[in-house]
């Protein structure tokens, strides 16, 4: 294959990817509130999986269009010796695709760099300990900051501060560790990495912020349910652990690739209220229309 032939193919692939993924992304972003309302009729784990699927669907459709249609049709129908020129629209779409992918890579690189900085500082000020209820060794950090998080993508590990260890009772610590282990089993940190890598519908526009926040909320609810196992006493212990950690003050600034027990105050009251109810309200069926 000649260089112009390959460059035309590359430009066509980028333009096709951006066209398909951006159209699907705009549709998904405009329907994000309806998708969240539909997710509210499901169990938290199913809701989180559904919203994650909706978020990555534009990327999957764009890649599928390139691999399934663009490349085979170009190689089959386009003659090698045809001196065809690439149009301005195709070049513009290809440039937008490159811009979207570069922004996603920059966002991912910043998150990974922040994760590595935290990991180095924690390793210097911590020690590995086998905690009761933990699935593996945890890194105990000698800090007074309220820190209980799951760090790492491929091999995530538990990180906890001495202050949290001293503040939580044995039951509260056990259910809190089970909560973080639920995030480990569902590979939520890997899903966070995929969310960062998936480009938005239009460069410099965050069209999926509402959808990603809803996914994070349902992921926390699902981890709460798996940690408590429907036991009212364990639910009360987890609510107490959340309150104790939240009252310890602002925690360290974590990367997006970290899953923390108390990620923020915006959903804390809803989580505690949900845990304090002995019988979780059953989801209301979504109307068929």
Please compute the mean of the pLDDT values over residues 197-209 and round it to a whole number. 85
Decide: helix, strand or coil at residue 186.
Answer: coil
- Token match 């970290």: residue? 258
How far apart, in whole angstroms, are the C-alpha atoms of residue 18 and residue 63? 10
Q: State how far the Cα of 55 lies from the Cα of 37, in Å rounded to an integer.
A: 15
Angular region, 223: left φ>0, alpha ψ -120 to 50, beta rest: alpha
What is the rounded CA–CA span in Å between residue 233 and residue 238? 9
Q: Are 128 and 138 in contact (CB under 8 A)?
A: yes
For position 63, what pLDDT does the model report? 94
* pLDDT, position 278: 53
- Angstrom distance (rounded) from CA 20 to CA 248: 47
Percent of the chain having pLDDT more than 70? Answer: 91
pLDDT above 50 for 281: no
Q: Dihedral of the CA atoms 102, 105, 110, 112 (nearest 10)?
A: -170
Residue 213, CA distances (Å) to 43, 113, 217, 264 in order:
17, 22, 6, 12
Q: What is the pLDDT of residue 277?
A: 82
- Cα distance between residue 152 and residue 143, in whole Å: 20
Give me the pLDDT at residue 141, please: 86
Average pLDDT over residues 100-113: 92
Separation between Cα atoms, residue 223 and residue 225, nearest integer Å: 5
DSSP E strands: which ranges in 126-229? Answer: 126-129, 138-141, 148-151, 157-161
Phi, psi (5° rounding) for residue 148?
-150, 105
Mean pLDDT of 159-178: 89
Would you call 147 helix, strand, or coil by DSSP? coil
**Whole-number Å distance between alpha carbons of 127 and 116:** 17
* pLDDT tens-digit series, residues 122-166: 888 778 887 765 556 788 888 778 888 888 888 888 888 888 888
Kindly report the pTM of this predicted structure: 0.86
pLDDT at residue 274, as a whole number: 87
Strand partners, 126: 141
Report how far apart, in Å, the C-alpha atoms of 254 and of each of 3, 34, 118, 160, 260 are: 45, 31, 7, 13, 8
Say which residue, 91 or 250, is predicted with more confidence: 91
Cβ atoms of residues 189 and 150 within 8 Å: yes
Helix H, strand E, coil C: the string for 198-226 is CCCCCCCCCCCHHHHHHHHHHHHHHHHHH
Closest CA to 150 of 124, 186, 125, 121: 186
Q: Which of 267, 268, 260 is nearest to 188 (CA)?
A: 260
Who contacts 77 (Cβ-Cβ below 8 Å, separation ≥6)?
Answer: none
């Amino acid at each position: 294959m000649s260089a112009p032939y390959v460059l035309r193919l590359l430009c066509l692939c980028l333009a096709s990817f951006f066209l398909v993924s951006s159209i699907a992304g705009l549709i998904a972003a405009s329907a994000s509130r309806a998708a969240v309302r539909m997710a509210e009729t499901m169990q938290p784990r199913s809701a989180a999986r559904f919203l994650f699927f909706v978020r990555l669907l534009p990327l999957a459709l764009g890649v599928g269009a390139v691999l399934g249609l663009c490349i085979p049709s170009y190689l089959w129908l386009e003659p090698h010796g045809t001196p065809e020129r690439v149009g301005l629209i195709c070049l513009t779409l290809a440039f937008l695709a490159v811009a979207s992918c570069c922004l996603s890579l920059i966002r991912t690189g910043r998150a990974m760099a922040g994760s590595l900085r935290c990991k180095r500082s924690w390793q210097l000020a911590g020690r590995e300990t086998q905690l009761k209820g933990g699935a593996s060794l945890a890194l105990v950090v000698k800090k007074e900051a309220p820190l209980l998080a799951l760090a790492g993508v491929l091999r995530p590990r538990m990180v906890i501060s001495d202050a949290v260890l001293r503040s939580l009772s044995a039951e509260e610590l056990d259910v809190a560790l089970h909560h973080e282990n639920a995030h480990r089993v569902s590979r939520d940190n890997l899903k966070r990495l995929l969310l960062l890598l998936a480009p938005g519908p239009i460069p410099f526009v965050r069209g999926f912020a509402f959808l990603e926040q809803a996914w994070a909320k349902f992921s926390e609810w699902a981890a709460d349910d798996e940690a408590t196992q429907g036991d009212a006493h364990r639910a009360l212990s987890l609510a107490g652990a959340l309150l104790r950690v939240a009252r310890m003050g602002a925690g360290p600034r974590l990367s997006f690739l970290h899953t923390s027990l108390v990620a923020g105050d915006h959903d804390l009251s809803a989580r505690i209220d949900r845990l304090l109810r002995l019988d979780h309200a059953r989801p209301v069926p979504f109307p068929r229309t």
